[in-house]
Amino acid sequence: MNRFTTDSVIAVIGAGTMGAGIAQVAANAGHPVLLFDAAEGAAKRGIDNTAKGLAKLVERGKMSQTDVDALLSRLTPVDALTDLAPASLVIEAIVERLEIKQQVFSQLEEICDASTVIATNTSSISVTAIGSTLKRPQNLVGMHFFNPAPIMKLVEVISGLDTDPGIASDIYALSHRWGKQPVLAKSTPGFIVNRVARPFYAEGLRAYQEGGADIATIDTLMRECGGFRMGPFELMDLIGHDVNYAVTCSVFEAFYNDQRFLPSLIQKELVDAGHLGRKTGRGFYNYSSDAEKPAAVTADAAPAPLSITVEGSLGVAEPLIPMFEAAGIRITRIDNDEVEGMISVGDATLMLTNGQFATLRASETLRPDLINFDLALDYTSAPRIALAPADQASPEALQSAIGLFQAIGKSVTVIDDIPGMVVMRTVCMLANEGFDAVNQQVCDEQAVDIAMKGGGNYPCGPIEWVNKLELSYALDVLDNLMDAYGEDRYRASPLLLRKVAGGA
């Protein structure tokens, strides 16, 4: 039987945006909630701000005034830590400093009942380390909400080395009852989301650093081809480069300088310059009122071809075929299981990127007019496609490729020849990091996908995505990235290797 009921008193320490949001979530679920903040008057201000936010929901018809009044009646500001004694669960949402969290929790152990569960909302500090100075570390659990807490569904339930498994299970069940999507994970650097998400930023930064495409183009490709709500540069500007860079450095250092988490010098330059993103008015983009946001590079119109030849299977790109047919393009199919799937249009050969330079792939296949195209979440609905021509490819071949995709209503972006292009390399690296988290017993595969969709707003779980791509193809992409760069950063997870070897 779960230790928490609707009558259980929930206490929240810290009345900032996150703490007040967590308090709102608990009150909305029917709990009496005590809100404390060390700053005088902050707890009352936090509840007042919650009331203002709820009033807007009433105006938009999202909540009734009766429900809002009931929710607010369950929120009580308190002036002292000792007032939290009745709580069955205390959730901390204060400054990210280990010694302060340890001090607060040690005080709570003296104030609260021995059965009281204490939870930390930390996003980066080890739950095990926080519990190391406590008398009852078995009562400590991580309960990592995402901002804004009333809206974001994910809660990472983190077990430290001494956390009672029964408590973690009860917090998981409680989070479910609060309307959240909880996932269980061990206390390791970055937990799930902040660990698995590192390649989303890192591969965008690497593609930009190598001149693959400009910032606006990379962001647009991740949105319009990858289906992400924001591109990596837009998201880093929103988070704040001081915060995002610090998390990357923290994970990098915690993993003993594993090159997979290597911070970017480009982002460090922004931090050093004080260009922290939206909050300072300048980051990768200029946010001044008179600044225009740059647009993605888009190819000019090219003639539509009359016919194409498709040899072999295009795999995840097969949905393109009926689109070409619907556009009136004559298609000749050649069944050949011994070759990689390809589209021939004029002199051009189009192939889904496999992580190689298009230039190297053209040389190896003796097809000088080879052009790689990037991964898309859904080729049917994606409004844009990205192409990367080999250095040997003729301008005429590139025009044929551009015209083919424009004929089915796609905007076409031509980027420089970089391994894995933009979406493919990012998705494969995200999935690889997810597999590594599973391999190291941090969580299970389902938790990775739930966490990245619920906490990162990803359009698809990365492991789910590469299963659709085919794991063997994702492994080929990673191996080719490794060959191209010679960096340990692109090493394949042992679990991915094992799955492919086992025929998954």
Helix (H) or strand (E) holding 496: helix 494-501
Tokens of 250: 């923290």
What amino acid occupies position 429? M
From the list 8, 28, 123, 187, the catalytic residue is 123
List, in order, residues 6 or more apart from 337 with CB less than 8 Å away.
312, 313
Which stretches of 117-164 are assigned E, i.e. beta strand? 117-120, 140-145, 154-159
Q: Is residue 123 among the annotated active site residues?
A: yes
Q: Indicate which residue of 121, 194, 344, 400 is catalytic.
A: 194
The secondary structure of 459-475, three-state, reads CCCHHHHHHHHCHHHHH
- The Cα–Cα gap between 46 and 291 comes to 34
| HSE-CB for 373 with a 13 A CA cutoff | 28
Rounded to the nearest 5 degrees, what angle is found at the Cα of 16, between the Cα atoms of 12 and 22? 40
Go through 265-283 and write b for each residue having 16 or more CB atoms within 10 A of its CB, e for each that does not: eebeebbeeebbbeebebb
Question: For tokens 């080395």, what's the residue?
Answer: 161
Contact 392, 380 (CB under 8 A): no
Q: How far apart are CA 370 and CA 184, in angstroms?
A: 45
Enumerate the H helices of 255-318 as residue ranges.
265-273
CA distances from 485 to 16, 102, 424, 430, 482 (A): 44, 43, 16, 18, 5
Strands 307-311 and 330-334: parallel
Catalytic site includes residue 250:
no
| 31 included as an active-site residue | no
How, if at all, do strands 140-145 and 154-159 pair?
antiparallel
- Residue 255 CA to residue 277 CA, distance in Å, equals 27
Q: In the beta sheet, which residues pair with residue 289?
A: none
Edge-first strand listing for the sheet containing 348-352: 330-334, 307-311, 342-345, 348-352, 370-373, 384-389, 411-414
Cα dist. 466→58, 221, 386 in Å?
42, 18, 19
Q: Which one-letter DSSP state was computed for residue 256?
A: T
Which residues make beta-bridge pairs with 155? 145, 182
The total of other beta-carbon atoms located within 10 Å of residue 245's CB is: 21
Q: List active site positions.
A: 123, 144, 156, 194
